[in-house]
Amino acid sequence: MYKQTIRPVLFLMEPEKVHALLVSCLKCYRHLPWCRCWIRHLYTCSDKQLIWNHLTFRNRIGLSAGFDKGAEIFDELADCGFGFIEVGTVTPDSQDGNPRPRIFRLPQCESLISRTGFNNPGLDVIKRRLEQKSGSYVLGVNINKNPSSEGEQAVADFLRLYKELHPHVGYFTLNWGSVDVALMKQVLQGLAVFRVEQNIHVPLLLKLPADITEEGMDDVIDCTRLYRVDGVIATGPTMERSYLKGYSPAQLQKIGSGGISGRGIGERSLKAVSYLRAHAGKSLLIVGAGGIITPADARRMLDAGANLIQIYSSFIYEGPGIVKKMIQEIK
């Protein structure tokens, strides 16, 4: 029903207008307990639990950061069957992000081009919202520095976010590549010292860009061991456009810059997961993300070595029923 009836209507509107409409609808939906009970019954599908680092994932399918940037509707999104939800990216101060339009659909190849920036309401607002979490799913948060912060101030931004939010979340994610490697290592060192001194063990994940090289992944593996990083997400968007079939160079040039998610990532994420599993061993948690649209894609990612799956574009193109379909496929 979603793909035949609802999606064609939604795709007549700009992506961010659809998202704003969804947020408004879910905020109303949260006050309808009978409806929420029915939705949970409709979309819940049993799967083996994954217990990792004192966290219990009720299933292996999660929602990537970027969908609920402002941490407004995570409880309601979890009703669609997700085992874990990641909100953000969150920065210490509120950010407007890049000028609109900044999200573009590419339906012929089930992809998105996005250049949103880190638009979010900031730490204080996010913290109040995270305190309201309910439900049995795992809640993660993607964090980053303020765009203007450099050097020691950038390190302080990450530490502040971790300190303020750790009582309310199951894990944190940092975007490898969002700051230069040398600064990221300073951040990881500062977080490692803080976690040991304060005896705080909320897990830390690194989200890798799809365009990372094998040498870059080797550097990440070294960092996971040196700075007690608990896992990786492989991967985020790509800047490579060779997999965007059905669109001319002129059409893509008109859209402009931006990271590509969805089918347009090609095999990059799958290859990254395979490489990381082969070289990092079995102990590192790997979350497979990027290019996962169908249940068969999810199965391939798990077979490549991922422990968990994160989706984003699939939720947009396939609808809320995709979570249950993926769980049924991978059981």
Q: Which amino acid is located at 84 in the chain?
A: F
Residues in the chain: 331
| pLDDT given at position 2 | 92
- DSSP secondary structure code for residue 143 in this structure: E
242 included as an active-site residue: no
| pLDDT given at position 135 | 87
The answer to whether 119 and 113 have CB atoms below 8 angstroms apart is: no
Q: Which amino acid is located at 322 in the chain?
A: I
| pLDDT given at position 106 | 97
For residue range 296-314, what is the model confidence (pLDDT) as tens digits? 999 999 999 999 999 999 9
| Environment class of 192 (CB within 10 Å of its CB; exposed 0-12, middle 13-18, buried 19+) | middle
Residue 119 has, within 13 A of its CA and on its CB side, a CA count of 15
**Confidence class for position 273, pLDDT limits 50, 70, 90:** very high
Domains observed in the chain: 1-330 (3.20.20.70)
Q: Which of 275, 246, 244, 277 has its CA nearest to residue 261?
A: 244
* Gap between the Cα atoms of 307 and 285, Å rounded: 6
* Gap between the Cα atoms of 313 and 319, Å rounded: 10
| pLDDT given at position 156 | 98
| Three-class secondary structure of residue 282 per DSSP | coil
Q: Which of 161, 219, 170, 223 has its CA nearest to residue 194?
A: 161
Order of strands across the sheet that contains 259-262: 103-106, 111-114, 259-262
> What radius of gyration, in Å, describes the C-alpha atoms of the chain?
19
* Gap between the Cα atoms of 127 and 133, Å rounded: 11
* Gap between the Cα atoms of 293 and 86, Å rounded: 18
For residue range 45-59, what is the model confidence (pLDDT) as tens digits? 878 778 888 899 999
Among the listed residues 178, 261, 269, 283, the single catalytic one is 178
The answer to whether 263 and 323 have CB atoms below 8 angstroms apart is: no
Percent of the chain with pLDDT over 70: 100
- 259-262 and 103-106: which strand pairing? unpaired
Q: Measure CA 175 to chain center.
A: 10
Model-wide pTM > 0.75: yes
* Gap between the Cα atoms of 287 and 147, Å rounded: 27
Q: Which of 52, 32, 60, 57 has its CA nearest to residue 136?
A: 57
| Environment class of 197 (CB within 10 Å of its CB; exposed 0-12, middle 13-18, buried 19+) | exposed
For residue range 161-209, what is the model confidence (pLDDT) as tens digits? 999 999 999 999 999 999 999 999 999 999 999 999 999 999 999 999 9
* Gap between the Cα atoms of 194 and 160, Å rounded: 11
Q: Is the pLDDT of residue 235 over 80?
A: yes
| pLDDT given at position 51 | 86
The answer to whether 270 and 289 have CB atoms below 8 angstroms apart is: no
| pLDDT given at position 321 | 95
Q: Under the phi-then-psi rule, with left for phi > 0, alpha for psi from -120 to 50, and beta for the rest, what region is 260?
A: beta
| pLDDT given at position 331 | 81
Residue 39 has, within 13 A of its CA and on its CB side, a CA count of 19
| pLDDT given at position 48 | 76
Mean residue pLDDT across the chain: 96
Q: Work out the average pLDDT over 139-155.
A: 97
